[in-house]
Every structure is written in C-alpha cells, then in structure tokens.
Structure 1
C-alpha cells in the first residue's frame, strides 16, 4: 500500500500514490518482481489521525506485505496498527518521529530532521543572521533546535524563532518580524511551513523593499557570484530567503513564475540530487512510459522521488528473497538481517542493520545522513555545491 493526503487544506501529496501505481504498471509489464505480480493499494490519508489509522487498518485487512513510499504527519495513528500486524513501513516521507523510532520503519532519507539541520549548515556559510518561521506545533518546536545545531557547527548564533499558525491564509506580521530580525545586511529568512510556505513568501514579498531572493552573494558556491551567476559583494547584500525540500521545490518554483519567481536566488536543502541529475533517468523513463498524461506525477517533486526510491528498495529486497511466497515477516526479516540496496546514486547504499543506524536519541533509525545544498538559479533548483553533505553529527547533536 501507498498512502498520502489529497484534497485537504494542509499539505497534499497526490503524486506519491500515483507514482506507486505507475511503478506497478511498469514492473508488471516486465514480468513482475522476481516473477511476482505487484498489486498496489492506495489510500487518501486525509491529513488526519483518523484517516491515517484507517489507511493502516485497511493495509492490515487487505493483507499488504508492506507500506511503501507514503506520506503522513500522523505517525502514532498509523504505526501502531502496522506494528501489531508486523507490516514494514518502507521509505516514508520522513515527516514524523515514529518513522525514525519504530523498529518496523525503514527510512530512505534522514527526514525533516536532516533537512533542517543541514539547512543550518548551508545558511551558516552565507548568512549573518537567520530568522526561522516554522509551525507553532510540537513538531515545529523541534525545528528551531535542529536549525540551530547546524548554525552553531559554524560558530554562528542561533536563529530568531518565529512560530506561525500552520494553516494561516496570510503571514504579514510574521514576515515583517522575520525580515526585521534578520536584518538587511546579509540576513536570511528561512520558512519551513510545508504547503503554506508559498503563502508566507507571498506575504513576505509584499513588504516594502522585498523583491525575493537573488540579492546576496552566493558564498557557498565559492567565488562571490550571486544566485544568478553574477558577481556580487558583501556590501550589496540584502535579505535572502531559504527553505527545505518539501516546503519549496521545483513544482512550486514553476507555478510561481520560474526565473521570475519570488524564489529566485533562494537557498534550499534537499535529500537527493537535483532534479536534472542523470541518476533520475530511470524514474523519468518509467513516468514517460506509464504516467505521461498524469499531471500528479511530477519527476521534480520530492514526494514522487521518495516513492520511486522506496519502491526501488522494495523491489531489491523482494528479489533477494527468491521465494514463492512474499510475506511482511519475510520482508522485515530480510531488512533486519542486512539487505543492502543500491539506489543508483540517488542516496548512499542503504542498509538497516544496527551498526548502520545513526543512534541519535530522537532519530535512532536514520541510516541516510546525507543532504544536498541547492539554490534557485534561472528558475531551476541546481546544486549549490556538488555531491552530498553528511549531517549525521549535526542531527546527533540536536537529537
């Protein structure tokens, strides 16, 4: 089963179940997985605890052998039914604490924790002061600590913490405070509000003197160029905007004007290589063949990408079993005994044995400690620096 919220007032991820269905059509057209037909069930999680629990109970009732590549903010609601039935949760989006604590969860990325801790490291290279606008929730409270852990690794002061209502229709007051506290001389305003991040930056760009992101010298790319590749200087630096993948991504940049988007010049921390990286070619080929007319399946969307990686894990583990009957117990046993997965460069090789786990108190199940530093240039998310950045020590210090 693959689940995600759709048509709700908060974050929606319709591309994840759609990608799962496209993957099933593709793999079954090739003869299945090690001779097994792949049948994918999908469920609208509805962004509610009741919806998440309902999807999990349906997975149990219908005999799903795994929940793969899914999104939910309601970890406690869905994880208990899965644990009771012994169903592994493979490659969740990484939004809840339960995904990094449950022994039946096998995450493929470092979750929001690694993004925000890494974002602190990214901003520390180029920002004198940082304002963080984040949800006024228990989960949002932890974001400040994570961002600060990244900033402080570079001996920078902690961010100004600005909590905001998660589903507000405008954020003028928070935007004004964030801009003022960041300062106009090399300051950065980071917003991590999920789908409401666009709403926040709409409010931000309406403030007097705010025009978006491409004002600062892009020191992190090495060489004093701004986000558009033009030479800049510290004296000319203004307020820079930033966020993490999932709150800002290529689909949002495209919807808001591409190169004319208010996100032009913004710093973004991601889990995976930039969307134009050649490592994504197999996924793009599957989308082209099986979901070309389905506008829910955007290859630049982090949810779609996570689902692709999660099904890559599922497929390789099933193939390693060489058995006529696939069960949830056999899958989790194979994962616990050291099944190793190669994702073709989209992540480091993945394995979930004890020695592979990060072991941070709040995030013990993290095995992928890598993030990527990106920046919006000419309307495209591109690498700010090549390769991956290891944030394990930073997350560990915060957790």
Structure 2
C-alpha cells in the first residue's frame, strides 16, 4: 500500500466503517447459516439476458460449469456447491427480486455477477449481511458497501486506464461516447485523469458524448464524436497536442455505435478508435470481419491478461470438460473471466475455514475481511480486503485491485501490447476529485 493511500484511508473509509458497524448490530438469526455437514453450500449468480441493452448470459453459465467441476472434485470441504442463477433483465425491480431470492434461499454469497442497479440489489443483501463477491464493477455501491468484495477496479479503472493508453498513443483530442446514465456520468473525469497521468498534459478535455444504452443507431452520437475529436479543425488533425481519437464505452451496444461511426467516417485512418474490454471483445472483431474488421487498430483496456495467456488454461479446461459445449460461455469475455475469478476467491475463502466450522455469511465475511491474501493464479494481484488495503478515494473505497492491461486489435485478434499490469490508483483518486470539483 502506498503512503498516499495510508494517509488518506481514515477519511475515505469513515463512512464505510460506520455502515459496517450498523450492519453487524442487526438480529442474531442470520440467513445463510448452514452448519458444517452434508448440506450444500448455496450461492447465487445473476446477470441480464435477452434484453435490449447489455446481456451477459455467460456469467451464470460459467458459475454453473464451475459448480459442476468443483462437485466432481469432491465439493468444498466435502460439501456440494449449489449455484442459483437469476436474470436481472437490466431492470431495477427485477434486480431487487434477484437479491430477495438470494436472501430467501439462504445463499451465503452472491458471486461473479453483473448488474448496474446497485441501489436495488445491495440493500436486501446488506439487510441479510450477504457478501457480494466479484461484481462486474458498474454500480457505485459495489465500491462503497462493506459487503462488497470486488475483484477488479470496475468500469472506473478501465476508463482511467483507457485514458493512459490513449495518451501513450499520442491522442490530443478525445471524444468519449458513453451511456446517458448515472454510472456513465462518472466516466469523463476519469478519462481526463488517465490522459493527464499518461503524459497528455497538453491534451484538451474530452468531449463528453451522452448516448442511450439501447439505441439501434448512433448516427447522431457518431457525428458529435467526430466533431469533438476534430476540435474545430479538419477531421484527422486532432487539434493541439496530438491526433484525434474516439473511445466508446457502451457495453453490448458498442458494435452498433462503431457501425454508425464507420458509415459516417469511412476509412480515414487518422481517426483512431478505442474502447474497453467487454465493449470490444474477440467475438465482436470476428463478427465484423476478423482481419478485415474496421475495428483493426482499436485500443482496448482490460482488467486481466489477454485471452490467449496461459494463465487462463485452468478456466478453459473446466469449460471444455464441464460446460457441455454451452455456447453462452466465451472464455475471452471479461464477464465470464470475472465470474471465474470470483468463484476462485469464494472457494479459497471457504476452504480456509477451520475443519468443522459452520459456513455462514458471517464466517465468510470474516475470512475475506481478516484472512490471508487470496491468489488467483496471476490473473490479478493477490486479493485482500483488509482495512489498510482499501483505496484512498471517497467514492471507491472498496477497490483493492487498481491494475489494468493494455490490448489492441491487430490483424483480427485482440492481443496484449504490454507485458504485465498498469496501476491506475492515482488516476482513480484524481479522477474522483475532479468529478467532485466539477459538480
């Protein structure tokens, strides 16, 4: 932990500590209190599916495959892992229903899940004191609730890292196309912070282009993005400080945006494009032409090593042997990867309990809060959520992993362009300070 993080953590985490104390003062009869024995260990994974916005069916499918693998290996401390799944439909009411079902079914954790409706799902979980392990990182509550244990830096880390990656690519003027949502509102300051920290001190502030999440065409947003990147000069000149770049962070609708963008922009190589993994993935490149894809050359920032990295081989083996050719699972999908890592954390935490110890929400939380760092096979830094590990940023205190990776689309493949991780801790802290100042 850096000196800066130690110096700031008391102020940044005061509210979280108070909230945690209030959660611990509830009733004594807890949900999720399965005693040691032959009863299964019940957890839940949720994600949206069959909606007009982002769909992540691979995450529950990965959770089910993981459970089949673990159970074939003898379970967790001899007990069967039972995974419940739920579709939140990208809807606040249904997200809350998923959380309520987790409470009703005595789940000891919600693991490896995706939902942007943090206010809806976190309140029921906090009331039942159920830990939320490895959310995708969209909702603010994932980074503030004392019951949340994120395994990555979420969308904030991706966007801050994307700014640093664009700065390395000498982008002087950048347009950001992002969802017109509360979660989207936090992204422009983070991208600006990443650009500055990446050395683009002379770059103009990003042009913030708001766009609907479920549009069937983004022609208007594409035109605005081109004008913002041009900065009043000829398209492609980029104005002062470097080239013109457009980054789109629209989840499952990013391909729709780039289709609209391509129709307006044509094949001008001077306009560089960028996104974050999850919005640009290998399956999208394949669908749009592979080696001839208009996405060739696109910068992409991710949380984890590239999909071809051998550190993913254990996950791929489980998918081959236990997913039964489930075509919902794309091992290059960062949602699927997040679910794998989250279940790795769950299993390691539960296996660290003393022999005969009851598996409860409380014993699981105590292990995560006070136990040893949890290795993930090099896919992330060893993860630990001790008080001193939390981030010195008021809006993101629960982030313990501030590292990202740089990737790029080259000859039809999403490949790593830098060995190792890039730490964006300072960009995250500065980006939130900028956001508070701007507001």
Give TM-score scaled by structure 2 length: 0.83
1:201 aligns with 2:258: yes
2:138, 2:183 within 8 Å by CA — same for their partners in 1? no
Within 5 A, what are the aligned runs for 1:207-222? 207-210=264-267, 215=269
1:208 Cα shift? 4.5
Cα RMSD (Å) = 1.1
Secondary structure, aligned partner of 1:207: helix
Q: Distance in 1 between matches of 2:265 and 2:383?
A: 47
Tell which deviates more after alignment, 291-300 or 277-286: 291-300
Q: Distance in 1 between matches of 2:379 and 2:302?
A: 12
Q: Distance in 2 between matches of 1:182 and 1:58?
A: 46
Aligned match of 1:15: 58
1:189 aligns with 2:222: no
Runs of 4+ in structure 1 displaced over 6 angstroms?
none
1:170 aligns with 2:227: no
Secondary structure, aligned partner of 1:8: coil
2:168 to 119, 125, 137: 125
Q: Distance in 2 between matches of 1:258 and 1:301?
A: 17
Aligned match of 1:223: none
Tell which deviates more after alignment, 344-353 or 290-299: 290-299
Aligned match of 1:90: 133
1:143 to 171, 187, 190: 187
What does the per-residue CA deviation read over 1:229-272, in whole Å, with 9 as the maximum and x for residues that have no partner?
xxxxxxxxx00110011211112212222212221110000000
Within 5 A, what are the aligned runs for 1:72-111? 72-111=115-154
1:314 aligns with 2:358: no
1:359, 1:365 within 8 Å by CA — same for their partners in 2? no
1:106, 1:352 within 8 Å by CA — same for their partners in 2? yes
Q: Distance in 2 between matches of 1:181 and 1:59?
A: 45
Aligned match of 2:110: 67
1:331 to 364, 383, 388: 364
Q: Distance in 2 between matches of 1:208 and 1:66?
A: 47
Structure 2, unaligned stretches of length 5 or more? 1-43, 231-235, 238-242, 433-439
What does the per-residue CA deviation read over 1:161-192, in whole Å, with 9 as the maximum and x for residues that have no partner?
11112221111122122123313032111111
Aligned match of 2:91: 48
1:362 aligns with 2:395: yes
Q: How many residues align?
A: 374
Aligned match of 1:225: none
Structure 1, unaligned stretches of length 5 or more? 216-237
Q: Distance in 1 between matches of 2:95 and 2:210?
A: 26
1:359 Cα shift? 2.4
Within 5 A, what are the aligned runs for 1:267-278? 267-278=299-310
Give TM-score scaled by structure 1 length: 0.92
1:204, 1:210 within 8 Å by CA — same for their partners in 2? no
2:284 to 242, 252, 255: 252
